[in-house]
Structure 1
């Protein structure tokens, strides 16, 4: 299976589904932790899951809205999906939300895709990026005392509420850095982190240098990602 072609097929599929996605935007429920989930989240996850199953024999699939994961080494194909990262933005009518998809085989990363459909932006394995230079630090919207310290010390900062948006902008150089000191699940982070490594970014996970090992989806991870042209001091 050509994973690049498969990721492009997923990209095209999401574009083609936008009318149905937008119809489901304000059909909102709340999870036990108080976070929102829309019918659009489930719609995207169901459609991409079905597509990936037809293309990848024996696929083991983990999506945020249908989480089912047994810890341990995974053989064969493995897909990790966050159908809408930044659901709070999405169901509030903001455009800063994204889709995060990563594919592995026998524990080896095959390719990842970040897509922000309403902004018309995407990045996938193998794409080239610009070499912009920024002083902006992006912070997670999940509050942590370290964020207050970081905001105080940053030259410029942004809090956008979407990890896909943050990581995409670090990779392309529109942000110098993205910091999430409280932690997020692998479906929020891992596809973007793999793209950050591909483009030479400096990545730390749980306060240690990160070199591309698989992050299991049943736990949260703190991340600090810096663009290779980082202009932010410290």
Structure 2
């Protein structure tokens, strides 16, 4: 897919370089960048992706998305540079476009709240499976589609990982997906490119008054 096609999801993006480069993947971790990757620099709680542009370029990245002023960054040529106001939002939208918006092709159930997310997600999955549907499950305990499990570290995956996972579930023939949606994932744009058919709010307690 050409970079220009992906950037149709990001109106107002400032581009320096060619938009005709072919993009083979969307990554936020320089260690997983491969030839043709679009590397999106996001600021984490411990690391800032802007510090790893050279590493991503060394692994073959074809273009980079940044929030910071490119003139203040060390960007190896001939990388195409795309500047956006919010790279986390851009990551979600770009990944959604790259994977052909998988949530639009699944019946999506999003479950949020302080307590009960895991139980509710598993109940929803069990009910739908009993009704004869193949359903994906994403949550604290595991990510699963039918009998196939996927590795995961968070209740709700980072947006590019989430879109990749939903695309795999779609390609496996899933009818829908039940997923836990953490407060962090909402605040950090991880589910921005997800289109939910059903939203479930369990409760709100003092544990989430600060986030």
The interval holding the TM-score normalised by the smaller chain is 0.3 to 0.5
Structure whose residues are more often strand by fraction: 1
Whose relative contact order is higher, 1 or 2, with alpha carbons under 8 Å and at least 6 apart? 2
Q: Which has the larger radius of gyration?
A: 2
